[in-house]
Amino acid sequence: MDASKRTGALSRTGTTSLSDGAAATVSDLSAHRRASTLVAEATRLVEVEAAYIEARQVADRRQELEVAFDRARAEGDEFAELRALQAAKRFDVAHPSRDPLFEQLHAAQLFGAQPAGVAA
């Protein structure tokens, strides 16, 4: 194995190895795999995974608010509708998008669109 990889020296791309690998394991294959994993690669993978998890949580929260609003409309509970609209406004401030949730729900309220699952 190249001495620069074992010691964690700078690679050709200017990043350092995540682990020296050679001292941490007895398997040549594992040592090579660990030594060839760069800090920048590992960091990027963690960032991508965190962004995916955050996006999924935002989408789930948006769906929860839509369901709460639809349920309130189906039950005729105007106060619950207003609470859902307030929550949608807070959601939009925290998570700006090209399709604001508040506008979607408020349009349904103003123009009488039927909530999902409710017969006309």
> How many percent of the chain have pLDDT more than 70?
62
Among 83, 71, 80, which Cα is nearest to 115's? 71
Q: What is the pTM of this model?
A: 0.59
Q: Which pLDDT tens digit goes with each residue over 1-30? A: 454 444 444 444 444 445 544 445 567 766
Q: 17 — phi, psi (to 5°)? A: -70, 145
- Residue-wise pLDDT for 39-82, tens only, equals 777 788 889 999 999 999 999 999 999 999 999 999 999 999 99
